[in-house]
Structure 1
Amino acid sequence: MLPSRTVSRNLVQPETASTHTPRPKGSVVLVGMPGAGKSSIGRRLAARWGMPFRDADSEIEAAAGIPVAEIFSRYGEAHFREGERRVIARLLASAEPVVLATGGGAFADPRTRQAVRDSGATSVWLKCRLSTLMRRVAGREHRPMFVNTDPREVLERLMAARHPAYAEADVTLFCSDEHPEVTTRRAADAITGHRPPERLRVALSRNAYDIVIGEGVLRRAGAEMAQRLEGRRVVIVSDQSVAALHLPALRESLADAGFAVAAEILVPPGEASKSFAQFERVVDQILSARADRRLAVLALGGGVVGDLAGYCAASVLRGLPFVQCPTTLLAQVDSSVGGKTGINTAQGKNLVGAFHQPRLVLADTAVLRTLPARELRAGWAEVAKHGLLQGPLWDWCEAEGPNAMRGDPAALAHAVLESCRLKSAVVTEDEFETKAEGGRALLNLGHTFGHALEAECGYSGQLLHGEAVAIGLGLAVELSARLGLCSQEMPGRVREHLREVGLPVRIADLPRAFSIGRLIARMRADKKARDGAMRFVLLRAPGDVFTESGVTEDMVRALLTEEGCLP
């Protein structure tokens, strides 16, 4: 323990507290390398908000009565870190929130990081380039670590050791050589605008994992993965379009957390990449990266990338750890959760694959702003499906769908959160889709028709999965109404909503003709079929759905005839 003395309060009395930036509700803890500006920015933030400022090293020296360097030399680092943790925990336990600048090594101690989390404070990493730090620490002879040593070597060593811990901070703020007031303003905006991500637990009896949902989650990927994976090597699988937009941020996040990227494997965008040819190519490249069972496979992309990468992860060495970073609405609300992986064949969609649960799903809702409008609309079909499965969510979909399709961040975040909540509950109850009735099979509402349409289009991009599901939802509800299961108004209500958000709702909306015979053959070969009999998910009302194998072929033919299909 450190010697006990009265602790100086080190309070900055603000000359003028800014009214332009709201004051944070709790304490703020600044972490970073020597020279990052923790004390300088911390004092300015405290003055801006009218909050007390504390410097952890100063508090420790006041408590011990001797400088930090002397504590190290007399008692050793382990003794110092224990005292440092206790001082930081005490400062953060104060009834009044504070702005706290920590020593460079404080946040690198796992118990101190946990103490900061437990306090509810917002941790902020002031991240600087090496060149910036070099200029700032030049001539700091009072810092023992820089005496009679090469500052560059010291900083490089400390950055390699400490950046993985700093990456776990709630907020990362890149700091350059701009004026400290500019950095302070940016820091204040980032801190008060920070919203912790939502976390859902997929509570499987084995292989339970978390879904992390929120803006900026992709930039925390490395830190989140570091807490859940044993190894620190990763293979990234993405498609060429997504990689151009999001791979740089992911690389940086992984590097900060101490991960080495063993390979980056890019596939062409589109459903056609869920093929044997791409499966073989990706598997070969994973093996070429000196794969062992600690090598993680990270899928950065939509449902195609996630399904393909997941199946490769399931197959190599009979199972590698797998992380999903879904970048489309469809993948965030549906395909990234549940562990279904696979590829398509000439006979149908997802007929070859495996159940392989991810270790983690990171759904960054900010990336949805980069989606083409058509892709965003296609993802909404799965949200609408979840609404019909859940009940109250359907009413919300009808009210907020148009806002979501205009890019409303709150509406999109709610759609992702509630869809994942529903799907995680279903998956937990029926992980391997073994229930004879209900369970995971219900998640295929609209998919028997939709998959048949996709297969007939040859997965060419002419018809997106979500567009096929939208048409399938209308057909499934229409079939339910014809069987007297739901109200006669329900099919029109479903189709009106889907049309309002810009989705096709009838086969006749598509720019090509379809054969009834070929569609029925596809549906008989669907993986949900039983003994060659078509199997549908039908609806009595939103929130009341079930599986049914007793629908006659004549009824399906009549329905498809009215849709404009050819005999």
Structure 2
Amino acid sequence: MMEPAPAVLPIAANRLSQHAPLKRSVVLIGMPGSGKSSIGKRLATRLGMAFRDADTEIEAAAGQPITEIFSRYGEPHFREGERRVIGRLLAGPPLILATGGGAYADAETRRAIRDSGALAVWLRCTVPVLLPRVSGRATRPMFLNKDPEEVLNRLMAARHPLYAEADLVIDCLDENPETTTDRVEAALHDHTPPARLPVPLSGRAYEVVVGDGLLARAGGLIAPALPARRVAIVSDASVAGLHLPTLEVGLREAGFEIRASLTVPPGEASKSFSQFGTLMEDLLAAGIDRQTAVVALGGGVVGDLAGYAAASALRGLPFVQIPTTLLAQVDSSVGGKTGINLRAGKNLAGAFHQPRIVLADTGVLSTLPSRELRAGYAEVAKHGLLQGALWDWCEANGAKAVAGDAAALRHAVLESCRLKAAVVAADEREESPEGGRALLNLGHTFGHAIEAECGYDGSLLHGEGVAIGLGLAARLSVILGLCEATLPERVEAHLSAVGLPARLSHLPRRFTLAALMARMRKDKKVRDGALRFVLLRGPGQAFTKDDVDPALVEALLRSEGAQG
């Protein structure tokens, strides 16, 4: 089998560790002979932590060697005992734990390690490195009276896809154990784990995972959330050229079968019945079944279209969101709203279909055109106005985010997802009479109408429409006497400062009053024919209002240059 090229970190061996003990346990996993015990002992000594060897603990508990447990009771009995011992050890104070080669290949043991909060570290070795270490060892029951190279290749084929679920992967050479320990220790202390935000729905909870470099290890991250390791990827032609190869490698390393990698044309025009029908036919032609997950790799258009296809194909397939735009990471990928556009308006055909997991790889945002990044930031600003404290952060740090600052973007994605996850969990299907999830439509009644009038031709991006909608919602709030007169100026000044259109009059296109009002009357939020808006009393004080006088809305739009 082909082996990955080892990645060697240039760290001097035998240095004196200056690192403090870790606050979580470390579980070393890997093939027999990968050095888990020897590295684990050295690591524990350096960090001032306890070391335990799972095999030694099992033998002590059973009063007999592992070879005898295997021969007398079989592997299933051994794995059950191994699972109990590992669970007991991880329930105590943080420690360094070396496991047997097959421990992490057991699904329940993997889950127990993950649920304990321990950090799983895979010591990945090649066959030439492992072969001398396992040959002729009577303590390794799986190698007794067998060709060790054949056993290694067979075990690697079965276990490496499961080891890929580890938090860290360290490629190990045939080198001094102190050198390997140096690299493991450095990796542990340099590791920034991705944030995991729960969306605790009553039907099926899921996580939003936010961090850098997630595409390359996507298979290990999504596997625990799916019924099988089979996927069909849906992307658009632009995104696929940038990120599809990385995703495919990350999936295959975790043993995923990719039934199809399908692409649609980039842009809002792909959210159409014709493209939806083509995608459905292509998915079925690829031989999908009820356990094949649809993976959306792209922005909001791809997520909405692929999600609607996943909700419809075979009456519902597992769905994974891997958003690649800021707008999709902070908004459309979380919450399960999927759909396509009709001539009458935006997202008027669709379904609620929650993803099994969302991977928001903030590293891919560096590939976004600046206009796309700014458009996505409009949703961050919206979340800021809804949450309050985040709006203060936006005014202080929004310029850094749209300039591509990694730390600012990570914060924007994290806090936006945190807000949206809480709102979605409380009102999954937008049924709350007190606003609930409907509040997330702040700026969207205006924004969707403007976007629809532009014909989804790319002249106005969704986020740009939302930005104008935020300014109009603030102005309507002042007209209705709901907030301070300075709020619209504050909102528009910030949006303009980050390069977004903040007013209808900022667009080169002219709009007719009748057309915009007709669009808003067909909005999904309309109730009994009455216009419904999300309005503001101030940042952090949003609410829905059902009985807004159309004459006031018309007067506002006229003041912004709408004709008629």
Instruction: Give the TM-score, by structure 2 length.
Output: 0.87
Give the Cα–Cα distance (whole angstroms) in 2 for the partners of residues 115 and 525 of structure 1.
50
Seen in structure 2, the aligned counterparts of structure 1 residues 79 and 526 have a Cα distance that, compared at 3 Å, is closer
Report matched runs for 1:56-205 at 5 Å: 56-57=54-55, 68-85=66-83, 88=86, 92=90, 95=93, 97-117=94-114, 120-128=117-125, 132-138=126-132, 140-142=135-137, 143=140, 145-146=142-143, 149-151=146-148, 153-175=150-172, 184-205=181-202
Say which SS state the counterpart of residue 33 (structure 1) adopts: coil
Q: C-alpha displacement at 1:310, in angstroms?
A: 0.7
Is residue 287 of structure 2 the alignment partner of residue 290 of structure 1? yes
The Cα offsets for residues 110-150 of structure 1, whole Å up to 9 and x where unpaired, read as 4543554465432101234xxx3245315823255456645
Report matched runs for 1:451-462 at 5 Å: 451-462=448-459
Contact 2:70–2:141 (Cα < 8 Å) also in 1: no
Give the Cα–Cα distance (whole angstroms) in 1 for the partners of residues 29 and 159 of structure 2.
10
Give the Cα–Cα distance (whole angstroms) in 1 for the partners of residues 65 and 432 of structure 2.
67
The match for 1:18 is 17
The match for 1:528 is 525
Identity %: 66
Seen in structure 2, the aligned counterparts of structure 1 residues 37 and 457 have a Cα distance that, compared at 3 Å, is farther
Contact 1:216–1:366 (Cα < 8 Å) also in 2: yes
Is residue 210 of structure 2 the alignment partner of residue 213 of structure 1? yes
Q: Could you tell which deviates more after superposition, 54-63 or 157-166?
A: 54-63
Contact 2:127–2:149 (Cα < 8 Å) also in 1: no
Given candidates 381, 384, 396, the residue that maps to 1:384 is 381
Give the Cα–Cα distance (whole angstroms) in 1 for the partners of residues 119 and 287 of structure 2.
39
Give the Cα–Cα distance (whole angstroms) in 2 for the partners of residues 248 and 235 of structure 1.
14
Letter in 2 for 1:240: A
Is residue 271 of structure 2 the alignment partner of residue 271 of structure 1? no
Letter in 1 for 2:542: V
Gaps of 5+ in 1: 1-13
Instruction: Give the TM-score, by structure 1 length.
Output: 0.86
Give the Cα–Cα distance (whole angstroms) in 1 for the partners of residues 562 and 176 of structure 2.
67
Letter in 1 for 2:135: R
Contact 2:449–2:520 (Cα < 8 Å) also in 1: yes
Q: C-alpha displacement at 1:513, in angstroms?
A: 3.0
Contact 1:16–1:48 (Cα < 8 Å) also in 2: no
Contact 1:16–1:47 (Cα < 8 Å) also in 2: no
Give the Cα–Cα distance (whole angstroms) in 2 for the partners of residues 376 and 343 of structure 1.
23
Seen in structure 2, the aligned counterparts of structure 1 residues 495 and 32 have a Cα distance that, compared at 3 Å, is same
Letter in 2 for 1:170: D
Contact 1:387–1:542 (Cα < 8 Å) also in 2: yes
Q: Could you tell which deviates more after superposition, 188-197 or 325-334?
A: 188-197
Q: Could you tell which deviates more after superposition, 396-405 or 547-556?
A: 547-556
Contact 2:521–2:531 (Cα < 8 Å) also in 1: yes
Q: C-alpha displacement at 1:364, in angstroms?
A: 2.7
Give the Cα–Cα distance (whole angstroms) in 2 for the partners of residues 459 and 27 of structure 1.
51
Q: Could you tell which deviates more after superposition, 215-224 or 411-420?
A: 215-224
The match for 1:4 is none
Give the Cα–Cα distance (whole angstroms) in 1 for the partners of residues 450 and 187 of structure 2.
46
Q: C-alpha displacement at 1:434, in angstroms?
A: 3.4
The match for 1:11 is none
Is residue 21 of structure 2 the alignment partner of residue 27 of structure 1? no
The match for 2:492 is 495
Letter in 2 for 1:288: A
The Cα offsets for residues 63-101 of structure 1, whole Å up to 9 and x where unpaired, read as 878764455335533444355445545655665x54333
Letter in 2 for 1:81: R
The Cα offsets for residues 152-188 of structure 1, whole Å up to 9 and x where unpaired, read as 5423431232234323322233456788666544433
Letter in 2 for 1:298: V
Seen in structure 2, the aligned counterparts of structure 1 residues 482 and 190 have a Cα distance that, compared at 3 Å, is same
The match for 1:10 is none
Q: C-alpha displacement at 1:216, in angstroms?
A: 4.0
The match for 1:319 is 316
Say which SS state the counterpart of residue 227 (structure 1) adopts: helix
Letter in 2 for 1:133: V
Contact 1:388–1:394 (Cα < 8 Å) also in 2: yes
Say which SS state the counterpart of residue 525 (structure 2) adopts: coil
Q: C-alpha displacement at 1:49, in angstroms?
A: 4.0
Letter in 2 for 1:541: G
In angstroms, what is the RMSD of aligned CA positions? 3.1
The Cα offsets for residues 16-59 of structure 1, whole Å up to 9 and x where unpaired, read as 5233x565333322111235443454455446545565554466
Gaps of 5+ in 2: 1-12
Letter in 1 for 2:158: A
The match for 2:355 is 358
Letter in 2 for 1:394: W
Letter in 1 for 2:387: Q
Seen in structure 2, the aligned counterparts of structure 1 residues 343 and 104 have a Cα distance that, compared at 3 Å, is same
The match for 2:438 is 441
